[in-house]
Chains A and B, each alone.
Chain A
Amino acid sequence: MTQTLSLLYDRVRVEEKEIINAAQKKGVELRPIDAKELRLDITDLSKDEIFGEVAIERCVSHFRGLYITSILENKGVDVINPFSVASLCGDKLLCSMKLAKAGIPTPRTIVAFTKEEAMKVLEEDMGYPAVIKPVFGSWGRLIAPLKDRETAQALLEDREEMGNPLYQIYYIQEMVERPPRDIRTVVVGDQIAASIYRYSAPDDWRTNIARGGRAEVCNLNDELRELILKAAEVVGTGVLGVDAMETKEGIVIHEVNSTVEFKGAMSVSEVDIPGMIIDYALQKARK
């Protein structure tokens, strides 16, 4: 039986182009579908053949991708990544909690629900510097280091003014002492595809490649491999980006990303990550 796959996108980035190319090379039918043009009947949950057996969801917009995933799953289509994985990884609060519960070392994080309590977290507990992050969204957007009380007050006041209620969830994390780099590992199913160091751009403290960070190959030792694979398993397994930092006390995993961007990892590691994603999708389709 021939398997058909689909690729849900809203923007075709390098990653999506490469996934399309990889399918072509393998002679696999992969239908690219523009999520912005979809209309889905959620009261008719019969199987929609256009999505094939497995859909690879690659939307840049997290919530768009998340809802599409849920709808397709309810229509009987397997999605990479599953809703359970994408919803968990799309929320920093839930993801940190999951990692902590599984005993995976992760930076200490305290959550408060008002500006006043957030201030107390900083003054009475976490101290400065600390990091505040929105629970959703990414590319390092609105992630800020809180170096002192003045910065914290200004930033928290700004936050309070923002319309989105999710910005009133104050996720405050210890500022981990680390070299100016972190480790991004792309995991496909139960396999490590590639691992890179991401160095911050000279004018930024964040290591996101989207913020101009630079990539270099990272050779993982067995202990770290095991930890990264465990983190991927804990969130539910899929195509994932596991982010780790090197601290004096050892490695911490601070984030697991669901719609992983692997342009950096692919260019320096020369691993065929898109090919692995297609193989993983086919393997799922056969089940």
Chain B
Amino acid sequence: MKFKCPECDGDIDAKEVIEGEILSCPDCGAELEVTKDKKGNFELRVAESEGEDWGE
């Protein structure tokens, strides 16, 4: 599957993706979350950044 990085417009090639998964852009290093648009197509959005209450 091919995506465009929403941060730097770089090309991202991903094999199997599932919703909620995090990819990082090979060009700019941004952390991107896999989501679905209204039509059910996968798209990428910039992921939430680490919060103070994150982790186990």
Contacts and interface: CB of A to CB of B under 8 A. Distances in A.
B55 A138 contact: yes
Nearest to A62: B53
B18 A20 contact: yes
B24 to A, nearest CB: 13
Q: Is the interface of B mostly helix, strand, loop or mixed?
A: loop
Contacts, number: 59
Contacts of A117: none
Nearest to A12: B20
Interface in A236-255: 241
- Give the bracket for the number of chain B residues in contact with chain A: 10 to 19
A195 interface: no
B48 interface: yes
A63 B53 CA distance: 7
Interface string A1-42: 000000001111100110010000000000010101000000
A173 interface: no
Contact of A139 (B20, B21, B35, B55): B55
Nearest to A37: B35
A164 B51 CA distance: 12
Interface residues of A, number: 29
Interface string B14-37: 000011111000000000011100
A257 interface: yes
Most buried by A among B21, B47, B48, B52: B52
Interface of B: 18-22, 33-35, 47-48, 51-56
Interface of A: 9-13, 16-17, 20, 32, 34, 36, 60-64, 136-139, 141, 164, 210, 241, 257-261
11 contacts: A17-B21, A20-B18, A32-B19, A34-B20, A61-B54, A62-B53, A62-B55, A136-B52, A139-B55, A241-B56, A260-B56
